[in-house]
Amino acid sequence: MHIPDGFISAPVATVGCVVAAGCVAHAAKATNKKMGEKQIPLMGVLAAFIFAAQMLNFPIAGGTSGHFIGAALAAILLGPWAGVLIMTCVLVVQCLIFQDGGLFALGANIFNMGIVASFIGYYVHRGDASLFGGHRKRILGSGGLAAWLSVVIASIACAFELAISGIVPLGVALPAMAGVHALIGIGEGAITAAVLSFIMATRADLLEIQKA
């Protein structure tokens, strides 16, 4: 889902940079006000874990592969704005050091995988917890569902950006992106649920719902 340079038009890339910059600036202020001593170290640990986990690819249909994104997990544990900051750090390092995603397209990548994925993951999980309670199976199930949806909807946002840029028609980009990432999302959901299960067994206090 990392968009390389040249795959989106200048106006789309510019809008992505402006929106991403504004959201990251607000995320920094919001996180600074709400994060306590317990959460701040966890942000660094999560960023390192997500960065490392994204290096591991798993095979999916058609000879393609996918990897963990981690935005939903970060948002579930620390709230959506902290999730935005964590994902921004990961994506910036990937872009500048590993050339994973273009520099001019960085704003769009942050918007898709940092902002959209974090907020979708957070509100799906929080909504499920509010409606059905916080039992172990519900937490794991809603975490997996939130992670899956975060990947699929982020891929849909990417498809629209490609279509608006005139790279590929929406009728082609949307089913291709959503279809592949619906499969990738299964891996995302499984990894997220596994991590949440481990946290429940070791540090259940970290699973307190963080307010947006």
pLDDT at 122 over 90: yes
Q: Which of 65-69, 130-134, 170-174 has the lowest mean pLDDT?
A: 130-134
CATH number assigned to the domain covering 10-56+65-207: 1.10.1760.20
Please report, for the chain, the start and end positions of each structural domain, with discontinuous segments joined by +. 10-56+65-207
Burial environment of residue 92 by CB neighbours within 10 A (0 to 12, 13 to 18, 19 or more): middle
Q: DSSP 3-state assignment of 105?
A: coil
pLDDT in tens, 21-37: 999 999 999 988 877 66
Tokens 């039992």 locate to: 135
Q: Any idea what DSSP says for residue 114?
A: I
pLDDT at 56 over 80: no
**b/e map 32-46, b = 16+ CB within 10 Å:** eeebeeebeebbeeb
* Pairing label, strands 57-59, 65-67: antiparallel
Tokens matching residue 138: 């519900």
Q: Any idea what DSSP says for residue 171?
A: H
Q: How far apart are CA 65 and CA 211, in angstroms?
A: 34
pLDDT in tens, 110-119: 999 999 999 9
Angle at the Cα of 87 from the Cα atoms of 44 and 186, rounded to 5 degrees: 110
pLDDT at 20 over 80: yes
